[in-house]
Structure 1
Amino acid sequence: MIAIEITEAGEPQVLKPTERSIPSPAEDEVLIKIAAAGVNRPDVMQRRGQYPPPAGASDIPGLEIAGTVAALGEQVNNVSMGNKVCALVTGGGYAEYCTAPASVCLPIPNGLTFVQAAALPETFFTVWSNVFDRADLAAGETLLVHGGASGIGTTAIQLAKAFDAKVFVTAGTAEKCRFCTELGADAAIHYRERDFVQEIERLTTGRGVDVILDMIGGDYLPRNLKCLAPEGRLVQIAVQHGAKAEINLVPVMQKRLVLTGSTLRARETAFKAKIAKNLYEHVWPLLEYGLVKPVIHATFPLTEAAKAHVLMESSQHTGKIILTV
């Protein structure tokens, strides 16, 4: 099969097509003939040598795929040959074939293409696990999402609104802000022109927000704490501005705040399978009725993965970037 390998840590041009053997599924896995694969920030970090794959995972990048089941492990009984599925994987997505645990495979929602389905696993698993499970966002509460026009952001906006929360976002251009409000955000803050702390204070009449989903870290941390309402929860899922920050712990105590975070890739399969079950029960119907939809910015052929990474790092995209096979 053709796969995209990282020949060395570096810029996008280190992504090169190569020939690899088609992997064989373990007893609890399926082999998927890939039609489309998502491109995500963790792929960029891996390419740069900053996010090595967990033990036992493929060195080929790619964390989400959609395609057709081509082979079954001996113990698989919940998926059949020929099923059209999407799956969250620990690596190996930039290829013509990839294995995945059967328990994290989900049927492609009715009406969605392979390209649309490939945009679901990484962002929907991440948002559900962090916003709804970890932060326990409830109807009537308010969510602030940094990077509202990203794949994570567009997913968080739609899911939070679908479950009756209010959503504020930050974005880096007026066009992205406009897109986010058209998608459903109650307000979008152009962070290059306005101080999001002041804007959140204005938008909430001084109360603050209940939950913040943050991919930035670094200098955003103390500012995020100022934005939180009493009993507020900050969920950290990436650190684009750095992993270290200095904060004042007094407001954490006074407002009884919760600072938490997570990564998903290295978590055990059973944990991911629980998320998959929740998504199938609570979110898949929304996708099938068209109440929530993946936002696709651009597609590239598999062999042009380097171009996809250039676009990803430019931050000029709105929504997801997909490789097609």
Structure 2
Amino acid sequence: MPEVPPQMQVMTVIQPGKNSYLQTGWQSVPQPAPDQLLLKVKAAGVNRADLMQRQGLYPPPAGESDILGLEVAGIVVQVGTEADEHWLGKTVFGIVAGGGYAEYALLHKGHAMTKPEHWSWAQAGAAAETFLTAYQLLFHLGGLTAGQRVLLHAGASGVGTSALQLATLAGAKVAVTVGRADKAEACLKLGAELAINYRCTDFAEQLTGHWPAGADLILDPVAGDYLQNNITVLADDGLIIIYALMGGRLIEQFDLAPMFKKRGKLICSTLRNRSNQYKAELTKGFVTAFGEQMMHDRFAPILNQSFHWNNAQQAHNIMINNNNIGKLVLEF
């Protein structure tokens, strides 16, 4: 294995807040704890959580790296004392609680997944956070089964396109909401049976006409004003899972009565602050359920664009303006 240098380049946040910007800097290469792997990073996914962390709204969990980046792909160059040495030299990808925007990053041994040979580094860097989030929401929390109806808001996002693929493979019926015609077209090509442009029509009215019985499961990163319409289109005994607050955290004049009538359930979910054991079990569950299909190219992350990691600000600007279909990735 190549010798690991003492210092590495990282992308740092200058002036955290609304006027923050990104700049390269230097830090010491982290040393793996007994249960960790050290990766030479080849690619790192860009996620909306990175934008929130820049603004000071989503700090890393205690003890984790304050460097941006929640998913990485790379080559294992060092292993902790409790990690199997068979990982050395292997090409892997996985979720991290921070530290992805750097030349080297630490990955818990239970969070490492083998990179499919047919995937590029950019694809591997774009896969872990969105597919594990989608798997968690759809199956671990949502209990999705074949034939059920799923509504995905932000259907063309990284999580949206990942959830669309997994739900379709599981035999579910999928509808999505999007903000542009090209995003609707992309989702239909991935298997959605209905793609609603919320800028042109009322999604609740259109979905009710398409699915009179309602959606069994709704995955919502918007919240805010969407919640009341979510209840309108929810099936009896249905479940709404909110996993982000893009539309705001406050809801005025919210009426719970329709939720009671439908015996509806509401869950709020995050992944970053879960325990390492939870994430390891989630990773194992995903690989057990979908690993073979992943290796046989039955699904893959949808890439919008990849950037040299020095151009991280450009990638962030695209995400800020909601111009991406699928994932944005930094390559090293």
TM-score (norm 2): 0.95
C-alpha deviation, 1:297, in angstroms:
0.4
Q: Count residues with an aligned counterpart.
A: 324
Secondary structure of the structure 2 residue equivalent to 1:285: helix
Q: Which runs of 4+ in 1 moved over 2 A?
A: 10-13
Secondary structure of the structure 1 residue equivalent to 2:62: coil
Structure 2 distance, partners of 1:47, 1:25, is 26
Structure 1 distance, partners of 2:107, 2:318, is 27
Q: What do residues 266-317 of structure 1 show as CA deviations (whole Å, max 9, x unaligned)?
A: 1100000011101111112112222111100001111111111011111111
Q: What do residues 15-38 of structure 1 show as CA deviations (whole Å, max 9, x unaligned)?
A: 110011111000000100000000
1:161 paired to 2:203: no
Structure 1 distance, partners of 2:132, 2:47, is 13
Moved more, 114-123 or 78-87: 78-87
Structure 2 distance, partners of 1:11, 1:62, is 19
Q: 2:229 aligns with which of 223, 232, 235?
A: 223
1:101 paired to 2:111: no
For structure 2, the 5+ residue unaligned runs are 1-7
Amino acid at match of 2:290: V
1:323 paired to 2:326: no
Structure 1 distance, partners of 2:209, 2:297, is 33
1:292 paired to 2:296: no
1:172-211 map, 5 Å: 172-204=179-211, 206-211=212-217
1:12-27 map, 5 Å: 14-27=21-34
Counterpart residue number, 2:241: 235
Structure 2 distance, partners of 1:149, 1:123, is 12
Structure 2 distance, partners of 1:122, 1:169, is 20
Structure 2 distance, partners of 1:113, 1:11, is 34
C-alpha deviation, 1:11, in angstroms:
5.3
Structure 1 distance, partners of 2:52, 2:174, is 28
Structure 1 distance, partners of 2:159, 2:86, is 28
Percent identity, aligned pairs only? 39
Amino acid at match of 1:303: N
1:80 paired to 2:87: yes
Moved more, 1-10 or 212-221: 1-10
Q: What do residues 217-238 of structure 1 show as CA deviations (whole Å, max 9, x unaligned)?
A: 0000111011100010000000
Q: 2:177 aligns with which of 166, 170, 173?
A: 170
Counterpart residue number, 1:32: 39
C-alpha deviation, 1:251, in angstroms:
1.7
C-alpha contact 1:149 1:318 (8 A) present in aligned 2? yes
C-alpha contact 2:20 2:55 (8 A) present in aligned 1? no
Counterpart residue number, 1:250: 257
Amino acid at match of 2:230: N
Moved more, 9-18 or 284-293: 9-18
Counterpart residue number, 2:67: 60
Counterpart residue number, 2:5: none
Amino acid at match of 1:51: Y
Moved more, 278-287 or 234-243: 278-287
C-alpha contact 1:27 1:74 (8 A) present in aligned 2? yes
Structure 2 distance, partners of 1:49, 1:158, is 32
TM-score (norm 1): 0.97
C-alpha contact 1:38 1:63 (8 A) present in aligned 2? yes
Amino acid at match of 1:211: L
Amino acid at match of 2:228: P
Change (3 A) 1:78 1:214: farther
Counterpart residue number, 1:273: 280
Structure 2 distance, partners of 1:280, 1:287, is 8
Q: What do residues 129-188 of structure 1 show as CA deviations (whole Å, max 9, x unaligned)?
A: 111111111110000000011001100110000000000000001111011101111110
Structure 1 distance, partners of 2:172, 2:87, is 37
Structure 2 distance, partners of 1:77, 1:156, is 32
Secondary structure of the structure 2 residue equivalent to 1:233: strand
C-alpha contact 1:109 1:284 (8 A) present in aligned 2? no
